[in-house]
Amino acid sequence: MKWDTIDLKTYFKSKEYVDTVCIPLVPLNLSNETDAIKFANYQQTIQIIAKEVERNFTGRVLLSPVYTYFSEGSYEAEQERINQWTELMFGEDFKHKFFLTFDLKWKKEEKGLDGTLLWLPASMIEDYQSEVTKKWIMDQKSQVSELIRSFWQ
Amino acid sequence: MSEKKQQVSRRQFLNYTLTGVGGFMAASMLAPMVRFAIDPVLKASAGGDMQAVADVSEITTEPQRFEWTVEQVDAWYTSDVTHSAWVYKNENDEIVPLSPVCKHLGCQVNWAGNEDYPDQFYCPCHDGRYLKDGTNVPNTPPDAPLDLFEYEVKDGTLYLGQPVPREEV
- Domain containing B51 — which CATH number? 2.102.10.10
In tens, the pLDDT along A95-138 reads 999 999 999 999 998 999 999 999 999 888 888 888 899 899 99
pLDDT tens string A28-66: 999 999 999 999 999 999 999 999 999 999 999 999 999
Predicted ipTM of the assembly: 0.81
Per-residue confidence (pLDDT) for residue B46, from 0 to 100: 46
Nearest Cβ partner for A17 among B82, B101, B126: B126
Is there a single domain that holds both residue B72 and residue B6?
Answer: no
Q: Is A96 left (phi over 0), alpha (psi -120 to 50) or beta?
A: beta
Q: CA of B17 to nearest chain A CA: how many angstroms apart?
A: 59
Q: Domain for residue B169, yes or no?
A: no
Q: How far is CA A118 from CA A1, A13, A22, A87, A109, in A?
A: 19, 29, 10, 18, 12
β-pairing, A61-63 vs A67-70, is unpaired
Residues B63 and B34 in one domain: no
- Which chain B residue has its CA at the smallest distance from A52's CA? B82
pLDDT at A44: 93
Strand arrangement, sheet containing B128-130: B110-111, B121-123, B128-130
Do B124 and A17 lie within an 8 Å CB cutoff? no
Considering only CB atoms, which chain B residues are within 8 Å of A63? none
B104 contacts on A by Cβ (under 8 Å): 17, 59
Give Cα A136 distance to the centre of its chain. 17
Given an 8 Å threshold on Cβ–Cβ distance, is B107 in contact with A152? no
Same domain, B31 and B97: no
CA distance B123 to chain A (A): 9
Chain A contact for B56, CB < 8 A? no
Predicted pLDDT at B78: 77
This prediction's pTM: 0.78
Amino acid B82: pLDDT: 85
* Cα radius of gyration (chain A): 15
A151/B contact by beta carbon, under 8 A: no
CA angle (B107 as vertex; A144, A1 as ends), nearest 5: 80
Interface check for A35 against chain B (CB to CB < 8 A): the answer is no
CA distance A38 to chain B (A): 22
Query: Is B160 inside any structural domain?
Result: yes
Q: For residues B88 and A75, give the distance between their C-alpha atoms in angstroms, rounded to a whole number.
A: 51
Within 8 A of B107 by CB-CB distance, chain A residues are 56-60
pLDDT of residue B41: 65
| Number of structural domains chain B divides into | 2
DSSP B106: -
Q: Kindly determine whether residue A56 and residue B108, on different chains, have CB atoms separated by under 8 Å.
A: yes
- The shortest CB-CB distance from A59 to any of B67, B80, B106 is to B106
Contact B124 A14 (CB under 8 A): no
Does the CB of A60 have a partner CB in chain B at under 8 Å? yes
Q: Enumerate residue ranges in chain B where pLDDT < 70.
A: 1-6, 40-48, 168-169
Domains in chain A (CATH in brackets) are: 17-142 (3.40.50)
DSSP B128-151: EEE-TTSPBPTTSS--SPPPEEEE
Residues in Cβ contact with B58 at an 8 Å cutoff, skipping those fewer than 6 apart: B64
Q: What's the domain range around B127?
A: 46-164
